[in-house]
A and B are shown apart, each in its own frame.
Chain A
Amino acid sequence: MSESNSASQADLVGHIAVQANDSTTLSLEFSGHWLRSARIRPVEQVLAELNGQSLQSIVAKSNDLQAWDSRLPSYLLKIAEYCDGKQIQLDTSNLPDGVQSLLNLARAVPERTGARRSQSQSSVLMNIGNSVVNLVKDSQGLMVFIGEMILASWTLMRGQARFRMVDLFIFIQDVGPSGFPIVSLISLLVGLILAFVGALQLAMFGAQIYIADLVALGTVREMGPLMTAIIMSGRTGAAYAAQLGTMNVNSEIDALRTMGISPMEFLVMPRMIALILMMPLLTMYADFMGILGGALVSISAFDISLTQYYNEITKAVDLTDFMVGFFKSVVFAVLIAIAGCRRGMACGQSASAVGDAATAAVVDSIVYLVVSDSVLTLICNRLHI
């Protein structure tokens, strides 16, 4: 085993000479540098050369072998496997001792039958079929998860759910107060944007005063809950998926199960409660910030006084609008908890699986949010709420 300098490595060569002794025996002579950095004839070529002949034995020997590393035994292993397949005797006794013992070591444990996996080519149809089957499985998994979650909620309502209070407070802290800065920024800006877009249209009719109605109604009923929920799904849903996924990789979830503690109660419930408690509060705060953003635009750019703005809002928004937004935010909280926790609990066993779980959690929750928001808005519209 010699490590040579990189300067001289470029032109190192390992030679293999194939010599037929007679019609059934053949010798392979190894010489030169058998190093990873050396140029060596591909083993497939040598094997192809052997293929046509009816051989009974091969003698491998070395002559003027300067240096070798793993390259030589791995080359020989290929030849040995070929010989095994063709029932040819391979004589390695003329090789250096080290090579022989490594080769013996490598062949000591025969390949376990059935261990090797064949890689099958998949066709487009197969892929489509697989994704349909996966979709069905996925939906089943979701249903099972929701079912378990309802059972756990029932246990919780009877006051028998096992989880640590301190966990709940940590989650509440994470979801609520820690989310303040980003929620402030986004909702203020969304309020501003709404006001600007609306004001340009309304100004054409000289109806700038209705900016207040537009911003207030839009924010309280739609944008407040939805923007808060989207921020939370990126902030909290993804975090839940990553936390639970890593716990899954470390067998922590198994550990809970064997202690007789339901992971659904211990891990999912406090997270969901934290979201359900905090989301409506954050939404209210987001509503306030959005309306404030609208006020900034109205006052500075469109000559509306703060009093006018305030009066207009109190006329436009009543408690029902507010309750609609409030109700939506609770629904969104549950959906984010379901998406995040389910993806985390179903996470695979590798580092990339945790990343996939976090990604899937965000994608899922945004889909759930938008779909449920559409449905809720439609229902409200039909019921004239």
Chain B
Amino acid sequence: MNTPHITVQDLTMAYGSFVIQRDLNFTIDHGDVFIIMGGSGCGKSTLLRHLIGLKSPAKGNVFYDQLSFWQAEEEQRIQVMRRIGVLYQSGALFSSLTLAENIALPLGEFTDLNAKDIADIVAYKLALVGLAGFEDYYPAEISGGMQKRAGLARAMALDPEILFFDEPSAGLDPVSARLLDDLIISLCATLGTTIVVVTHELASIFAIGTNSVFLDSESKTMLATGNPKQLLAESNDPRIIQFLTRGEGRADKPNVTGVI
């Protein structure tokens, strides 16, 4: 499955005249677990907003398969957006709906299923994320980690081809973060879902990532793309090594700290 799913071409992102990142070029293949990494404030979440169509690029292009997202017709763009699922940083569940209603919302809008079948699928999705039986709870009544998992269940409601995660492990305890990682891997393996994760959790990056892009806030562009393990082993850029080793440096390049 090494065909490109998302292609980013010469992408420049800016808020007005303030450029966040320029000249981004990378490819996300079908079935990848793609990590967007970089220090705080380097534009990771902004890149995600460009990928999911919430913000239009200042320059350059984003292709879904062969389709140029920002040059496509409105109708086509909506079609593309319906094939993706997004887990926002804080879950972004609708606070006035129960968990079941949150997940049933896209199912009710975009499928012809009857209420009974929707309820079954909702129960299954909640069970997948370990929340069986929590259908009738409101988001405010469950913990932050549970909200995040419920958000994942909603993102998966329509069996998306691409799942985007914004900081999935932020605010989760290590064990829950690990369980979420496992869930991401098994989804990727069983459903062939392409997964894009914004994170700076090193443990997650190495555990799940098969491909990645490294954004740098000083030079305002990407420094590298590729498998994170390979980046660590082969890169000669001190900024990447420092990031991937929590500033401790690699065994063969121990003096790397303090270079920047």
| B116: A residues at CB distance < 8 A | 42, 44
Residue-wise, chain A 163-198 has the 8 Å CB interface mask toward B (1 for contact) of 000000000000000000000000000000000000
Bound Cα distance from A264 to B248, whole angstroms = 49
| B130: A residues at CB distance < 8 A | 108-109
Output the nearest chain B residue to A349 by Cβ-Cβ distance: B140
Is B161 touching A3 in the complex (CB atoms < 8 A)?
A: yes
Is B136 touching A119 in the complex (CB atoms < 8 A)?
A: yes
Beyond A105-B186, A108-B130, A110-B132, whether A350 also contacts B139 by CB under 8 A is yes
Residue-wise, chain B 120-145 has the 8 Å CB interface mask toward A (1 for contact) of 11011101101111111111100000
Q: Is B113 an interface residue (CB 8 A)?
A: yes
Q: How large is the interface on A (under 10, 10 to 19, 20 to 34, 35 or more residues)?
A: 35 or more
Bound Cα distance from A119 to B135, whole angstroms = 12
Residue-wise, chain A 63-75 has the 8 Å CB interface mask toward B (1 for contact) of 0000001110111
Q: Is A315 an interface residue (CB 8 A)?
A: no
A34-61: which have CB < 8 Å to B?
A: 36-37, 40, 42-44
Is B96 touching A75 in the complex (CB atoms < 8 A)?
A: no
Query: Of B113, B123, B183, B191, which is within 8 A of A1 by CB?
Result: B191
Query: Of A37, A40, A69, A107, which is within 8 A of B127 by CB?
Result: A107
Q: Is A255 an interface residue (CB 8 A)?
A: no
Is A70 touching B159 in the complex (CB atoms < 8 A)?
A: yes
Most buried by A among B107, B125, B127, B193: B127
Beyond A77-B124, A105-B186, whether A115 also contacts B139 by CB under 8 A is no
| B161: A residues at CB distance < 8 A | 1, 3
Q: Looking at the assembled complex, report how far the CB atom of A32 sits from the nearest CB atom of chain B, in whole angstroms.
A: 16
Is B112 touching A116 in the complex (CB atoms < 8 A)?
A: no
A67-116: which have CB < 8 Å to B?
A: 69-71, 73-75, 77-78, 97-98, 101-102, 105-112, 115-116
Is A351 touching B94 in the complex (CB atoms < 8 A)?
A: yes
Bound Cα distance from A108 to B149, whole angstroms = 15
Query: Of B95, B117, B140, B159, which is within 8 A of A69 by CB?
Result: B159
Q: Looking at the assembled complex, report how far the CB atom of B188 sits from the nearest CB atom of chain A, in whole angstroms.
A: 11
Output the nearest chain B residue to A98 by Cβ-Cβ distance: B190
Residue-wise, chain A 356-378 has the 8 Å CB interface mask toward B (1 for contact) of 00000000000000000000000
Is B120 touching A350 in the complex (CB atoms < 8 A)?
A: no
21 sampled A-B residue pairs with Cβ under 8 A: A1-B159, A1-B192, A37-B111, A42-B117, A44-B116, A70-B124, A74-B121, A74-B125, A78-B120, A78-B123, A105-B128, A105-B186, A106-B128, A109-B131, A111-B127, A112-B132, A115-B132, A117-B137, A349-B138, A350-B96, A350-B138
Chain B contact residues, CB within 8 Å of chain A: 83, 94-96, 107, 111-113, 116-117, 120-121, 123-125, 127-128, 130-140, 156, 159, 161, 183, 186, 189-193
